[in-house]
Chain A
């Protein structure tokens, strides 16, 4: 049934593709395909908190394990906390990490990482650009509380074929683009796959050879993803795009052990234990969109899409043993399946009624399927006893409808005053409960001087999807659940404002501040169980509030071969869960100060040097604040006065990279990249324990795990 409904939706998308193939010819609409092109500079946009990153920037610089990563780029930006080292955490303006809207060609993506969060799901070879909003969200975006990451893939070259191959430390990538029908239709496809499983094969062969025939070990991990985009131009003003993304992680492990024995009756048998674990998780998205320009002042983008994120975990164990009474067999099978599927329609319209207004309006409708199921069966057969079978199954499913409508008007009040006023209304219906959300979005820009701009924005965002997770890790056992009678939609209100300047040529200097409140946050309250229950899952979560405020400073110098950037963040993040603690307490990612220094230097024709230095106040942990003194059973016990009362040592790290890139006369480019993560090998604290010295004085002892990681990658572009 699952497969069938996916096929139906993908088929519907294909039908939409064919149905619009006969649209009338219209004039060139390259601009229509790039409606966001006007936002290239922070100073020029009305919105606060916007950063645009071009695809080329993503593919240069330091690449951990030789794989360029969008999330790790975003983690360097001010106002963003990274959480645990090396992971794909994105905690924006005090957010929870599960409140970021990731859009890939306009389609929401729920699972955004591979390998438990080590890599993001986005293949940078195909990315054209991304817009990252931390505040000042335009009314056309909705559904998440803290940020929007809008990733657009690149349309294929309409003229000629070209592509690239890359080989990193743990994965390989291939990308190919070109015309299907010259100047009319093009494609752009990318494939990425890890090859760690290839390394493990000889290791397993060796281990199994050494173990002999009585023990066989199996294990492999592989992640892969595939992107494709087909673009067809009916006319310069009418463009059709079809995009597909598929990504999957596969982990398997197994052990088969045999033990020959002779039973009391003198017969030869063997005890046999088998264990098998298989975990598979990933995402699939498919979309078809049509962009159309109706004359000079009106254009539209209509889209139909499907998105799925799923995980499937299986565990099997069997033990077969012999005794004088006969054979005993014990077997257990455990499976855990969850998915969220979403089918949606979007219609976005841009209208320029006159020189003073730019109106955007649109509507969307999404249908969500949420499903989680766990099944456990066990069988036991003992000599002389009837076989026993036990089992348990729990499953949970929701279907939700989420229509939304929005309108925003960018009003040019004066030559130096711009107002973007918008309103978004969203409805969310699950079972018999309906939630409504009215979200005003206002942004105001005042150009004080040709080189100085001031901005102010207020936005309200709501989120109807909740990540049900027991641990702060991107695990396959995590699942998404909708807002229900008992789990209210999460809400955020944010005010942001700043000054954006270019005081000297090639130099920009921006200061931005924000104050954000968050309501109906959920935190898991049953840390005594690492897998949240499915039935009545809401009862395992406690509702609370959050707030965050701070200031970001950005200074950039860009003059040809040398680019320098410095980012500084001063921020506070607090949480309040009354069931948990009576007062506001710091969030675990409450990093008071954060500094990022980035340097890029293109030198000696073929070389580019990249340096990123990151420093931030340590993450927070909970340590004993008091010790009970006196006599009796309680003496000597620790008291933990408040959650997250202690700061880990400050974090700092230098990443360095060097590109050697040479283009041949025939236009082919060879690129060798040496990236060194944590170049001066500073082990940053990941966790800590209380320690006492010989005199009984207390101190903290933190432990670092991630050392210097040098990687080499090779790219061939043709």
Chain B
């Protein structure tokens, strides 16, 4: 009996050793090449991105085959001109207005035609921007409240981007801009963490008129649930003000040496060229971009955000995530947006006035 148990134990151990927890498997090669189209028409300009979508299985490079798409950009059924920017990007500067019907058709050799359509949504109207300072523990936080001309309704979608721009004036009269995009904070204090939900933090990257890549230009998606009536409030600073201050404000008294890193930081990394300018001062102001998104735009962006949780979906724990598409015959999105902007000065208005002359930000309040 003892021998039997030993044999069973040895066999069990051996079986366990024989197996690894990794199971490679081949993927079904069912996808066909398609046209990828992303077009987000906006009132002032429309950027189109057209790329070759190769089946993931069997593809190796990111370059792909030569690809010369034929594009038709129609506004209310009338073709509009656009310009080729290279890298598969195209732009139209024709202004659009609320209610314009946009249709984009793309054809390419050996690929099925792709087309998508959308309608430009109404422009949101920010009627008031109020910035208040609150003392929380030992920190000072600023709460921003945007008031719209009406309360958003269910089924309406919005997005918000906040750009903090620091303008640096040099003694020679030139100036530089340093832009940092920040997300609207929903907490003034860590203790409030039980009162927010992840719905307040749905963020995707929106830059140069397209949704793409890294989260350096975050747009926070909003639905009517995030508004209280016609107001949307957020904190400009985190409860950990010191941390954020260290990232966004410059200590002019203790400027570091102009080493390579510092040059990188300012985006002026000109090899072999030393920047000898001397800063005279800086000003910081905030620009708030409030977007009204068409349903397609929102769904595409939300699906992009949810793809961050693919690992949970693939563990069978949450519903599947995928890339939303409203492009018939292809992949991608044709979805419009409209935008309103509010801005306000954060500090050193004298410098800003000096730099911008008679055109300070519209929200400027001395």
Contacts and interface: CB of A to CB of B under 8 A. Distances in A.
Given A628-B52, A632-B89, A701 B320 contact: no
Nearest to B201: A528
Contact of B317 (A385, A390, A471, A633): A471
B34 interface: yes
A414 to B, nearest CB: 49
Contacts of A273: none
Contacts of A250: none
B131 interface: no
- Which 6 residue pairs of A and B lie closest in terms of their CB atoms, listed nearest first? A629-B64, A376-B194, A687-B315, A643-B320, A529-B198, A632-B87
Interface residues of B, number: 82
Given A698-B57, A704-B23, A642 B316 contact: no
B314 A621 contact: yes
17 contacts: A334-B194, A390-B189, A528-B306, A529-B198, A530-B318, A622-B322, A626-B36, A626-B54, A626-B55, A627-B62, A634-B210, A634-B212, A685-B23, A689-B311, A700-B25, A700-B27, A701-B22
Contacts of B198: 526, 528-530
Interface stretch (A151-159, A206-214, A646-654): A646-654
A470 B138 CA distance: 37
B331 interface: yes
A629 B61 contact: yes
Interface of B: 8, 12, 15-16, 18-28, 30-31, 33-34, 36, 38, 49, 51-65, 67, 87-89, 137-138, 154, 189, 191-192, 194-195, 197-199, 201-202, 207, 210, 212-213, 225, 299, 305-307, 309-326, 331
A84 B316 contact: yes
Nearest to A620: B320
B203 to A, nearest CB: 10
A683 interface: yes
A639 B331 contact: yes
Given A388-B191, A622-B310, A646-B28, A634 B19 contact: no
Interface residues of A, number: 91
A392 B196 CA distance: 10
Contacts of A638: 56, 323
Interface in A470-489: 470-473
Contacts of B305: 528
Contacts of B65: 629
B27 A623 contact: yes
Nearest to B67: A630
B192 A390 contact: yes
B312 to A, nearest CB: 8
B56 A699 contact: no
B316 A83 contact: yes
Interface of A: 83-84, 330, 332, 334, 376, 378-380, 382, 385, 388, 390-392, 470-473, 523-531, 533, 536, 539, 579-582, 588, 619, 621-649, 680-683, 685-691, 695-705, 707-708, 710
A632 B317 CA distance: 34
A700 B61 contact: no
A581 B67 CA distance: 28
A507 B307 CA distance: 51
B87 A473 contact: no
B60 to A, nearest CB: 4
Contacts of A636: 62
Contact of A702 (B25, B62, B67, B88): B25
Given A581-B322, A633-B212, A527 B309 contact: yes
Contact of B31 (A382, A626, A707): A626
Nearest to A629: B64
Contacts of A635: 51, 62
B71 to A, nearest CB: 14
A376 B195 contact: yes
Given A332-B191, A471-B317, A622-B322, A691 B24 contact: yes
B88 A631 contact: yes
Contacts of A701: 22-25
Contact of A527 (B53, B195, B321, B324): B321
A641 B322 contact: yes
B222 to A, nearest CB: 13
